[in-house]
Structure 1
Amino acid sequence: MVKRKGNGHFPAAFHFARDYRSHIEEAREALEHAARRMKKHAHRHRRDVEFQVGDLVLLKTNAQMLKTKQVKQRHKGLIPCYDGPFEVVAKIGRVAYRLNIPRRLVFHQVFHVSVLKKYILDSEDATKAEMVLAKREIDWEGHHDCYHKIEYLIKWKNRPVESATWERNSDLWQFEDLLRAYEAT
């Protein structure tokens, strides 16, 4: 850059260099200001969450993560927002956790903390199966395919027997112990 005042042989070069430096400084200040604003807005929704090995967590799901046959048959608006609970097996780095994911879900085992939520057990939760009342197998032949489906009649906790519902075995993965006990009888 030109260091002399404007009384040299090339005053236009001096003015150009001075203006260039001032524009660079303005741009640097604008970038710093934008970075501070972005950081403020980005940290507004962040949360300091840490899980221990053995904790139960819920996993935020979306249609891209759950590319199974059952999900493809449903509208993406009907897919639950969270799936689980899953056990934390290991902490990887500062913000990633390895989960104990069942075989029915065919994706990786490590997730960022932003897609995890602490599972809180509700003892009055009506979505807990109390017992399996019956089993039925359905064979259906469609135009192009034939299907074999197994359903169980589930009595839900804190609900009368009359409100028992038929559920597909693929939807009852969290009640595998209950299904095994029913099959053993």
Structure 2
Amino acid sequence: MDLITDLPKTADYDLILVVVDHAATKGVIFIPCHKKIDATDTAELLFQHVYRHFGLPDKIISDRDPRFAAEVFKEMGKLLGIKQMLSTAYHPQTDGETERVNQEVEIFLRFFCAKEQTKWKELLHFAEFAHNTRTHSVTKNSPFYLTMGYHPRPLPTIFEKTMVPSVEKRMAELKKLREETSALLDIAARRMKERSGKELDKFEKGQKVWLEGKNLSLGYPSPKLSPKHEGPFEIMEVLGPVTYRLKLPFQWRIHPVFHASLLSPYKETDVHGPNFLEPPPDIVEGQEEYEVEAIIGHRPKKKNQPPKEYLVSWKGYDSSHNQWLKPAGLKHSMELYLDYKIAHNLR
């Protein structure tokens, strides 16, 4: 049992309680909640989301979060016959399985919610279903099958036409969302495997690379769900065996020299071709006009003060072209502008 914290607030939710059945099925339960919950609230969430499906657990493994280490939580476990095991800073492997699930979920959410970071709560059940219906490497079965004794029937790949367009549209959205969620969780699992024992890549001048987004303050509403990688960017100069100078957007105003551990190769595939087509601009009133794909951040972030600039991504262009615009620069993207202000409670 563990917590994924510091998520963008949506409908009073900004935290996920992750419960993993590490002993039997390897299944997961993702419970949206908020950072103000205490030990009593946490215990109540376990009753609501775990006990009603599976009964009482024999033991609970967790880190030393105050919610889990509180006396009321320990005493409740004692009365119910639940053994509590707290991992330590020196031996975090005690809860390593939950932590791996946490990291996979965070990678999935970064991919899926980078553009619209307030959607994580409504997408969470798709992530849970995708994880629980995937064959586990240890049990050789899916958690769902080990729990229910059968494989769930997925959404059909093809829908018949209907006289109700709204139903047809919703079915198509659900199908696409399920497929994307499952695919992104597979990618998250592969990323976890790639992190262990990997040698640093070597790059050449002119080569394009992805830059790890960690520690880059680029104005996203939540660093927790900002893109894992930015770019691709061109290598302008090889400064040493593991040091490179990148061609970064001038708006970033950060030192453009990075260690190789923060870089990964950018590759185009025969199947998908270039990731970004960089379409030519439209001509509006004699001026070049590019289409805003999404508003992904704002500044400043002071309370009771309207933002002076908004970070936008351009349709068909990678994140190296992201740009800060004043509200006047969004006059042709008013729907996106107003939706963003409403979603983030901005004046």
TM-score tier (shorter): 0.3 to 0.5
Q: Counting strand residues as a fraction of each chain, which structure ranks higher?
A: 1
**TM-score normalised by structure 1 residue count:** 0.45
- Rg (Cα) greater in structure: 1
